[in-house]
A = this chain, B = another copy of it.
Amino acid sequence: MGKTNPPFMTGVPELLVLRLLSQREMYGYELVKSVRVVTSDAISLGEGVIYPVLHGLEKAGALTAKRKPVNGRTRVYYAVTPQGRERLERLSGEWDRVSAGVDSALGEAGHV
């Protein structure tokens, strides 16, 4: 039953979502726009990415969801649990390791 490891470069959407939610509660539609803003348009994640990530993290116990009616529409606000913070720490560390690896391979020393 060879369980395959996840691809080495994934989990970035999850990382971004956890990071943003660790600063304040947000709802899905808001996250879609926020990702673009905080990354200066470098990364744009569609709703097809955000919502599944949100649901997955909630199921994993990393987030809690809270429905709030606002102006007749319903928003689902997500908050990070302690478990989610651990996950954020782990993913953040992995990202640092991998991105440092790439940068060192690129030899960012004298390059521009």
Interface residues of chain A, those whose CB is within 8 Å of chain B, are 8-10, 12, 15-16, 19-20, 35, 38-40, 42-45, 92, 95, 97-107
Contacts and interface: CB of A to CB of B under 8 A. Distances in A.
Contact of A42 (B16, B40, B92, B97): B97
Contact of A102 (B95, B100, B101): B95
A19 B107 CA distance: 9
User: What copy number does this chain have within its complex?
Assistant: 2
A105 B10 contact: no
A72 B82 CA distance: 59
Say what secondary structure dominates the interface of chain A.
helix
A99 B98 CA distance: 10
User: Counting chain B CB atoms within 10 Å of each CB, which of A42, A45, A92 scores highest?
Assistant: A42
A17 to B, nearest CB: 10
Given A9-B9, A9-B10, A10-B9, A39 B105 contact: yes
Contacts of A39: 101-102, 104-105
B10 A42 contact: no
B106 A42 contact: no
